Amino acid sequence: MELATLMIHAGAEPDPSTGAIMTPIYQTSTFVQQAPGVHKGYEYARSQNPTRFALESALAAIEQGKYALAFSSGVAATDAVLKLLQPGDEVIAANDMYGGTYRLFTKVYEKFGIHFKFTDTTLPQNVQNAISPKTKLIWIETPTNPLMNITDIAAIAAIAKKANVLLCVDNTFASPFLQNPLLLGADIVMHSATKYLSGHSDVIQGCLVMNDDALRDQLYFIQKSCGAVPGPMDCFLVLRGIKTLHVRMERHCENGATVAHFLRNHPKVAHVYWCGFEDHPGYAVAQKQMRGYGGMMSFTLKDDSVENAKRVLSSTHLFSLAESLGGVESLINHPASMTHASIPREERLKNGLTDSLIRLSVGIEDEKDLIDDLNKAIG
Ligand SMILES: *Cc1c(COP(=O)(O)O)cnc(C)c1O
Residue-wise pLDDT for 110-134, tens only, equals 999 999 999 999 999 999 999 999 9
Give the HSE-up count for residue 347: Cα atoms under 13 Å, Cβ half-sphere: 17
Q: Which fold has domain 3-242?
A: Aspartate Aminotransferase; domain 2 (3.40.640)
Among 46, 83, 251, 310, the one annotated catalytic: 46
Domain map (residue ranges) of the chain: 3-242, 245-378
> What average pLDDT is seen over the chain?
96
Catalytic residue among 52, 102, 187, 195: 195
Closest to 329 (Cα-Cα) out of 373, 293, 298, 287: 373
User: What tens digit of pLDDT does each residue of 128-153 get?
Assistant: 999 999 999 999 999 998 899 999 99
**Run of H or E residues at 70:** strand 67-71
171 lines ligand 1 (CB under 6 A): no
State in Å: Cα 63 to ligand 1 middle.
Answer: 17
Taking CA atoms only, the protein residue closest to ligand 1 atom 7 is 74
The pLDDT tens digits for 33-53 are: 999 999 999 999 999 999 999
Cα of 213 vs centre of ligand 1, distance in Å, is 26
| Burial degree of 141 (CB within 10 A; 0-12, 13-18, 19+) | buried
- Take atom 1 of ligand 1 and give the residue whose Cα is closest: 192
Q: How many residues does the chain have?
A: 379
Q: Check if 195 is active-site.
A: yes
CATH architecture of 245-378: Alpha-Beta Complex (3.90)
Question: Does 350 have pLDDT greater than 90?
Answer: no
pLDDT at 280 over 90: yes
Answer yes or no: are the C-beta atoms of 320 and 330 closer than 8 Å. Answer: yes
Sorting pLDDT into bands at 50, 70 and 90, what band is 18? very high
